[in-house]
Amino acid sequence: MNRFDGRRVLVTGGGSGIGQATVARILAEGGTVVAADIVEAGLEATREQARAADAGDRLTTVVADISDESSVRSAIGGAIRDLGGLDALVNAAGILRSSHTAATTLEFWNRMLAVNLTGTFLVTREALPALLENGKGVVVNFSSTSATFAHPYMAAYAATKGGIQSFTHAIAIEYAKQGLRAVCVAPGSIASGMTSDPGLPEDADFSLLAKLSPAIGQGFAGPETVAGVIAMLASDDGAFVTGTELRIDGGTHA
């Protein structure tokens, strides 16, 4: 099934985790992809995977810091121009850190917002002209189950994800008449580099985390689980889905 034949897709966070899995999935379905990440070594791993799948000729990678406006304008903007347009944007880049809220520094808080929320805004703003030009562009943003369900020690992270959901709803309505769709995925109980070490406080009360276990399967699912849903949402199969979020957590919060 090549739902992305002839389609151009930008994936941030494409050097690891769900972003990397999304790059692989869209390439497998015929798409042309730009993968952006702040870590060059991760992008090299993504390129190697693409070459092994005989899809390396449809992948371009760029190093970009999504929290930095000048980096987004030069690296992301340049990549979109090189593509000659854009059909879909997947804002998968983000960071997860934990702390006692009472001990959270302003620097910690601001860094979370800068990468997760401001970064999503900056990349989306840069991509919007190209997405609107084709009349049926798609933005897939990354929320989290933490935006609507309690995740202790993750107040800053949860705040960024709640902001991303609200941002997504706003642009979905603002640009609907111009053919743009905007939707969030809200992953939970997904195994990735981000979730393997969230930096919980040494004295964390793990009984507070007891609810964070999936109801189906044998534990956390792999990032490809989310990538498949993203591929649906960004393709014509998701043509009537916009202004909402889709929780992907194996029933953790059912």
Query: Could you tell me how many helices (H) and strands (E) the chain has, helices first?
Result: 9, 7
Q: What per-residue confidence (pLDDT) applies to 205?
A: 83
Asked, for residue 1, whether it belongs to a domain, the answer is no
Q: Which residues form the domain of 168?
A: 8-248
CA distances 194 to 23, 90, 95, 240, Å, are 17, 17, 7, 31
Q: How many domains in the chain?
A: 1
Q: What per-residue confidence (pLDDT) applies to 195?
A: 58
Catalytic residues: 157
Asked, for residue 3, whether it belongs to a domain, the answer is no
Asked, for residue 254, whether it belongs to a domain, the answer is no
Asked, for residue 2, whether it belongs to a domain, the answer is no
In order, the DSSP letters of 17-55 are HHHHHHHHHHHHTT-EEEEEES-HHHHHHHHHHHHHTT-
- Tell me the average confidence (pLDDT) per consecutive run of 10 residues in the chain, 254 residues long: 94 98 98 98 98 98 98 97 96 96 97 98 98 97 93 95 98 98 95 71 80 75 96 98 96 86
Taking the alpha carbons at both ends of the chain, their separation in whole angstroms is 31
**CATH of residue 161:** 3.40.50.720
**DSSP secondary structure code for residue 243 in this structure:** S
What is the value of pTM for the model shown?
0.94
How big is the chain, counted in residues?
254
Asked, for residue 47, whether it belongs to a domain, the answer is yes
Q: What per-residue confidence (pLDDT) applies to 203?
A: 86
Q: Please choose, from the candidates 142, 138, 230, 143, the residue with its C-alpha nearest in 3D space to the C-alpha of residue 181.
A: 138
Asked, for residue 49, whether it belongs to a domain, the answer is yes
Asked, for residue 76, whether it belongs to a domain, the answer is yes
Cα angle, residue 233 at apex, residues 35 and 81 outer, rounded to 5°: 35
CB 136 within 8 Å of CB 179: yes
CA distances 136 to 127, 190, 201, 232, Å, are 13, 30, 44, 15
Q: What per-residue confidence (pLDDT) applies to 35?
A: 98
Asked, for residue 23, whether it belongs to a domain, the answer is yes
